[in-house]
Amino acid sequence: MQSDAKRLQALQLLVLLLPIEHSILLKRLLNLLQCVIDEPDNRMTADNLAILFVPHIIVPRKVCSFSRL
């Protein structure tokens, strides 16, 4: 199994490969989630926020049958 340092390095390299617009959006989203975590009245952990947001952010693209016409 990979070490945490290798995983972090791999993620950093993947972010560098993103188009600039996607990179900016990802940075803003991560900043927003950090603000939520830092909010004193917030009871959600980073893990809980990940469970909530990841399925909506990382979804496979669906090919619509109409696009083939």
Calpha distance 21→3 (Å, rounded) = 30
Instruction: Report the chain's mean pLDDT, rounded to a whole number.
Output: 86
Averaged pLDDT, 22-45: 93
Query: 37-64: per-residue pLDDT in tens?
Result: 999 999 999 999 999 988 888 876 665 5
Q: How many CB atoms are located within 10 Å of the residue 37 CB?
A: 13
pLDDT at residue number 55: 85
* pLDDT band (50, 70, 90) for residue 66: low
pLDDT at residue number 14: 92
Phi, psi at residue 57, to the nearest 5°?
-95, -45
